Homo-oligomer: A and B are copies of this chain.
Amino acid sequence: MDYQQLIEEVYNEVKSANPRGKVADYIPELAEVDGDKFGIALVDLEGNVFGVGDYEIPFSIQSISKVHTLTMVAHIFQSKLWSRVNVEPSGNPFNSIAQLEFEKGIPRNPFINAGALVITDALTSKFDDPIAEISKFINELSGKECVRINQEVLDSELKHSERNTALAYFLKAHQNFNNKVEDVLKTYVSHCAMEMCCVDLARSISYLANDGYSIYAKREIVTESYARRINALMLTCGFYDEAGEFAYRVGLPGKSGVGGGVAAIMPHKFSIGVWSPELNEKGNSVKAIMALELLTDKLKFSLF
């Protein structure tokens, strides 16, 4: 399989179809990003890198970082974590607080905001400097110093974090949040404000395509069982309220972010990072999803 040719074909077809969406505009720093950006990077399990378009330009990974934090916590806490966060699809918007009330403070899964806040709270309990640890961990996964926190994005998100703050206090009211809200929120917003390019992102989740072993970190990051757990969660919950559609159209475990990035893996084959800032109404990158769909079509691959 010539992966370079494959992703170039995909890239050109998407460029030609040119599906459009809307750049996230809830903070000015994201709203100003050039909507035409588009890059794809694929890394196989030998570490070969294939890239096309804007694949070396760093972008805001946003919610994709929740895969990394979940990995850190899963490793540390083993199964205890699952009494604090459920593993089922939500069927509600990612920032819904009503569901959290109906379900008495146990978030539906670790990728909706409430669930990710519980994860970051767990990291805050564990580490003195959780932001540094998260950066260090992602750098290790990527095999180089690649993570940079965009301070403007961080500051801006903090200014617009009322809803996440509400979620955090609501979790606290249900004894499912142990640290100071402001500390956890700062860490949460910091890891969402991290910037990486498609290549480094693809490398950073390569272990999930490899039964938990990272060829960059040169160690088992999580057990095979935990890698499977994370992949199952990405497949059923990784695309906000569009997980079922993505499972059908693409059929790969993946996670998207409102910065327009998508990270996905093909088990035992490769990991991939795609970036294009324009989003559909569900908050997923239109070009990235189309690219991944074409890719699995061309590979005649599917989970199913």
**Which of B99, B102, B109, B267 is close to A304, meaning CB atoms less than 8 Å apart?**
B267
Given A97-B97, A98-B102, are A244 and B251 neighbors across the interface (CB < 8 Å)?
A: no
Given A87-B244, A88-B245, A109-B244, are A235 and B173 neighbors across the interface (CB < 8 Å)?
A: no
Within 8 A of B (CB), among A282-304: 302-304
> What is the count of identical protomers in the complex?
4
Segment at the B interface, from A146-154, A198-206, A226-234, A271-279: A226-234
Select from chain B the residue with minimum beta-carbon distance to A248.
B232
Given A235-B236, A304-B232, are A87 and B248 neighbors across the interface (CB < 8 Å)?
A: yes
Within 8 A of B (CB), among A84-104: 86-92, 96-99, 101-102
Cα–Cα, bound, A248→B253 (Å): 12
Chain A contact residues, majority secondary structure: helix
Select from chain B the residue with minimum beta-carbon distance to A100.
B97
Nearest-CB distance from A265 to chain B (Å)? 8
A302 adjacent to B98 (CB under 8 Å): no
Nearest-CB distance from A65 to chain B (Å)? 20
For residue A302, which residues in chain B have a CB less than 8 angstroms away from its CB? 228, 267
Cα–Cα, bound, A231→B249 (Å): 11
For residue A108, which residues in chain B have a CB less than 8 angstroms away from its CB? 91
Cα–Cα, bound, A170→B114 (Å): 13
Does A144 reach chain B (CB closer than 8 Å)?
no
Within 8 A of B (CB), among A130-166: 162-163, 165-166
For residue A184, which residues in chain B have a CB less than 8 angstroms away from its CB? none
Does A169 reach chain B (CB closer than 8 Å)?
yes
Within 8 A of B (CB), among A108-129: 108-109
For residue A97, which residues in chain B have a CB less than 8 angstroms away from its CB? 97-98, 101, 166, 170
For residue A86, which residues in chain B have a CB less than 8 angstroms away from its CB? 244
- For A1-24 the 0/1 string (1 means CB < 8 A from B) is 000000000000000000000000
Given A101-B97, A172-B162, are A88 and B232 neighbors across the interface (CB < 8 Å)?
A: no
A232 adjacent to B253 (CB under 8 Å): no
Query: A-side interface residues toward B, CB under 8 Å?
Result: 86-92, 96-99, 101-102, 108-109, 162-163, 165-170, 172-173, 208, 227-229, 231-233, 235-237, 241-245, 247-248, 251, 253, 267, 302-304
